Chain A
């Protein structure tokens, strides 16, 4: 990882990887969603509403994965002072928040025909909503630290990123710990309670959305880095002119 600590080396690799991830992600996601909409069968109990699965589940996983990326990068920033770790954490916040919001709204749209309700305050739904608010708080803290101009407050969003990771196991185990209207996990490491007609398009859409997530994180990192470099250069020139 320290090999990419040099921004010039990171940019050399990010320049070709960003469009590649985004293009591959859009093609695979488009194809897998078409598969889920047009080719997958209706489910015996849930009918056609089961097709929402192919958007809802990948965005739920990526909402949680986004925060784990923030926590991992925050750890690298605090412990090893990796120069790009703070930028990577900030870059993961926007796609994480968007995918969490998509997960919540598509879940609500699935809940109405499946459970006859848009929303219930149970453990899974509430902890996922808490994750969305954690993203908003993280983005506000990171923006405040960036605008502070003194650099000292950069540790606050990193600490918040680490502490907020407590919510991830709560989301995962909420359907086991507490009574929930939400179904328990259908997939775990090496095991699946799902038929292949649903499993394969789900895996394809998960790969597609993950590639998009990776491409957006790289694009955000390049934007944050370019803004910081432009700002530093203009500041140096202003000092030199004085």
Chain B
């Protein structure tokens, strides 16, 4: 353990990155799914 470093800086950076990446993954996959399913519905109507 490095005594001179503030561990919380690294902990907060790791949590921000992990939570941000996970939320972005969930939002992207959900929106892409909704977009694709709407496109399929439109193709039925045409």
Contact = CB atoms under 8 A, between A and B. Distances in A.
Contact of A95 (B7, B14, B25, B42): B25
B11 A37 contact: yes
Interface centre among B13, B18, B39 (most CB of A within 10 A): B18
Contact of A51 (B2, B5, B11, B39): B11
Given A26-B26, A109-B10, A229 B21 contact: no
A112 B15 contact: no
A55 B18 contact: yes
Contacts of A112: 2, 5, 10
A223 B29 contact: yes
B3 to A, nearest CB: 9
B22 A102 contact: yes
Interface in A180-239: 209, 212, 215-216, 219-220, 222-224, 226-227, 229-230, 233-234, 237
A113 B1 contact: yes
Interface in B1-46: 1-2, 5, 7-8, 10-11, 13-15, 17-19, 21-22, 25-26, 29-30, 32-33, 35-37, 39-40, 42-44, 46
Given A48-B7, A48-B8, A94-B29, 14 more contacts: A33-B19, A51-B11, A55-B15, A98-B22, A102-B18, A109-B10, A113-B7, A215-B26, A223-B37, A226-B36, A227-B40, A233-B40, A233-B43, A233-B44
Interface of B: 1-2, 5, 7-8, 10-11, 13-15, 17-19, 21-22, 25-26, 29-30, 32-33, 35-37, 39-40, 42-44, 46
